[in-house]
Structure 1
């Protein structure tokens, strides 16, 4: 059995204490309950450090693009003779399922519709706002998040497979921090990684539970309650733990491929059963607008309108969410990317999911906007409804398509399989990070993490639904963003040293 490190025990104890803190009634801790404390911390971070999230995330994108065209692009993630373990299709399916999953289904129709009525600037409900709504959806799910994932995944794969370092984040920082990564500092870094993973994934699991319960409520008339969400989390927890025990090449691989098939089936159905010409035209014009406006959007702040909550509620939340997810997604992508060159790896991780995501938002978001703009369907009232919210917009859109109920069932199934693969992949990653980087963590470790991350999701939902989930993401992302900046420095130092060694050998 692989050695369980002290990071496991420290992280598990802290996660359990966090869950206990969330269970304590408000009247016992009137000024120190979980919801109030985390909300205060989040408000401080967003108010003072929103610019930090924008600059760091854009910096990771610039770094990733540089690597594609640099002389380092030929370096292989592994030994010179290593071949990729998975085909392109399977590789893409696995990284995509881990990297986006539930979020794409949750926000696919809801986010463009929300921006259409409450845009980042300008008047809502106009044809110009429709273009802005989709452009910002492309922006939030496009190159920036995948650059965050690519940066840490590249570092983990490079140090693990080429340098034979342990597959933990602290080992990546040895070129910067030296032997200190083997002591308490390394333990602290790996603890932050595990903590960010638990609550980044808990956010996604919470979104999944909310949307599955919303779909069951909207389509089948179930009463939408926190109890129903807890039952959903419990059922899916059992399913993903079964999947996690079967290993990477069985459970996760097959479920990831299933996800892609279901997602593409739903997307193609909506494309061809819906306003096909409108969707393709708005995709084409919006994608061009996204590329054209990318620099301006990347650095957009509102210093003269400090009370503008749109930026913190959307862009800053997303950048924090992607950073919180990065250790989980990065570790998983690294694990399945041995044998690819840096150029091949970064190009694939950046471009393929960005293009697919753009088509996805054009189809789902374009269908929602088309219903409002041309057919007079009032979807916006559902966004502000006390009984419903963003989670049922997809089902409300599908209601206006042929075979709407069948497609809604397919959507619920898709959310469920994404839920399982995200949590399944996360238990593997948490197991790997708490057993010194083992590529085959013990089942008992994965079992503990599976239960704890579901517990964290349930507590966050109970404490405040979506707001509590978003708050947790922004808080845990902050320290990890600093670690990621050090990772970039460490990678550059290592690449330069490898290039220097290569030049010395060539001169001999």
Structure 2
């Protein structure tokens, strides 16, 4: 390497201290966010109608696009993981990972899945069991039960993590290898558009990325709020409703804004490791008190069904017999993962310096996917088995309100109050840690530095809470789903070009490394001078 790590870190710190953290990208995105918030408050009914109409058109007209691009992202990531580029390191050739494997896994998992698994772990397999996907099986049959787990695996494993991996690898590579030292998505496009990333085109890319991130995080906050309210109702009789949900958002916002005021090593890292330990405790409890053999059988069969059905499920449109199911489930989940991609991708980029591309991609894809499969096999299979024996009480609750399903399920086991409190605490920690990570990413994207200042992060923290509240006021869970789909669509297009730009950069750097021009892999300082590469991110 041409500079030492200490010299490089010093240069980064100097740039960050002098950077304008409240430039045009910050003000434009804050302005757009406030327009959405005010429209939701002052024009609630027209806002709801316009949002639902737009999203309805997207689902009806662009479902094919979502299926194709998500399948492409999975193929692209697997290709890179096993290609010759897999040995390249995210940083200098001697760079060491900043975080250990357990801390790394805990942070990427809580950012990408945590709160969603608690929300859908019981509800989704049960809902598919009672209303099978595309009407393929008899409701309530053993075939419907297997199909429910198969589609839960499909929606929560390789495809979403491939989406995250595309953004995460691209941002990490350009930040730590090409030397932009920024989580801005626009920095990835320099091989395609050159110095125009510092102009209106680059700023437009960043604005779209930030808006998608904002809506994606707001969906996560909204889901967490609904489930905390449901848990408080089941355990303590607290009424379900908007007033309670607004209080939950306010209290949680105070928690994640306090966490955002601490360094990532103390805030998000500690919360993430705590959350993964508590999640394993809850999982282990259900393995012990639940039908363990059924869980193991369901896990094994679920993997087989998922693998054999991966290609058909990835491209299944029911073109000649369309049903609302595709838009309600697969398109919603794909849009949600794309909306979360700039947030989760940029965050896992931030915590992945020093890992090889192969280690990064396989770690991001395999470990969380296996954990999700275990989670759905334990919670989903147990819920289906139990639901049959109690006359559909859990599935009826899930149909009425998916947020209630987990706690209705836990009530059927011993120590309900203890497990309910554990689940509530776990949801809240996932809530706070995820939102804290969101403030870091939004602050970095809007400021152009890896470590945004406290005021920047707190501003985004307040806006995230306000937008989550507005989407809940707009139409509850449907409002959250519509917001995710609306924000995700333009970013999905950006991701396609991101793959192209990343591949060009990898190919160029690999060829140079093996051409004899350099004995070492491309380092931060050496590569960023090439092809008009700037010193740091000049846009603001």
Preserved contact between residue 98 and residue 425 of structure 1 (Cα < 8 Å): yes
Matched residue, 2:436: 424
Q: Shift of the alpha carbon at 1:383?
A: 2.7
1:17 correspondence with 2:17: no
1:305 correspondence with 2:324: no
Matched residue, 1:96: 109
**Pairs aligned (count):** 498
Where has structure 1 moved over 3 Å in runs of 4 or more?
A: 374-377
Between the aligned partners of 1:503 and 1:110, the Cα distance in structure 2 is 52
Q: Shift of the alpha carbon at 1:506?
A: 6.7
Shift in alpha-carbon separation, 1:506–1:448, aligned structure 2, 3 A: closer
Shift in alpha-carbon separation, 1:182–1:507, aligned structure 2, 3 A: closer
Between the aligned partners of 2:195 and 2:47, the Cα distance in structure 1 is 37
Between the aligned partners of 1:75 and 1:430, the Cα distance in structure 2 is 28
Between the aligned partners of 1:506 and 1:54, the Cα distance in structure 2 is 42
Between the aligned partners of 2:251 and 2:336, the Cα distance in structure 1 is 25
Matched residue, 1:489: 500
Point out where structure 2 has 5 or more consecutive residues left out of the alignment: 1-16, 520-540
Preserved contact between residue 256 and residue 421 of structure 1 (Cα < 8 Å): yes
* Mapping for residues 284-363 of structure 1, pairs under 5 Å: 284-306=300-322, 308-363=323-378
State the TM-score, normalized to the length of structure 1.
0.96
Between the aligned partners of 1:261 and 1:504, the Cα distance in structure 2 is 47
Matched residue, 1:366: 381
Point out where structure 1 has 5 or more consecutive residues left out of the alignment: none
Preserved contact between residue 260 and residue 457 of structure 2 (Cα < 8 Å): yes
SS in 2 for 1:461: helix
Preserved contact between residue 157 and residue 338 of structure 1 (Cα < 8 Å): yes
Matched residue, 2:405: 393
Shift in alpha-carbon separation, 1:73–1:25, aligned structure 2, 3 A: closer
Preserved contact between residue 130 and residue 369 of structure 1 (Cα < 8 Å): yes
1:461 correspondence with 2:472: yes
Matched residue, 1:180: 196
* Mapping for residues 109-508 of structure 1, pairs under 5 Å: 109-120=122-133, 121-167=136-182, 168-306=184-322, 308-374=323-389, 376-385=391-400, 389-436=401-448, 438-505=449-516
Between the aligned partners of 2:168 and 2:174, the Cα distance in structure 1 is 10
**Residues 179-204 of structure 1, C-alpha deviation per residue, up to 9 Å, x if partnerless?**
21110011100000110011111011
Preserved contact between residue 127 and residue 399 of structure 2 (Cα < 8 Å): no
State the TM-score, normalized to the length of structure 2.
0.91
2:96 pairs, out of 73, 76, 83, with 83
Matched residue, 1:53: 66
Preserved contact between residue 367 and residue 397 of structure 1 (Cα < 8 Å): no
1:64 correspondence with 2:77: yes
Q: Cα RMSD (Å) of the superposition?
A: 1.2
Matched residue, 1:7: 25
Between the aligned partners of 1:215 and 1:68, the Cα distance in structure 2 is 41
Matched residue, 1:38: 51
**Residues 189-229 of structure 1, C-alpha deviation per residue, up to 9 Å, x if partnerless?**
00001100111110110000000001111221111110000
SS in 1 for 2:257: helix
Q: Shift of the alpha carbon at 1:440?
A: 1.2
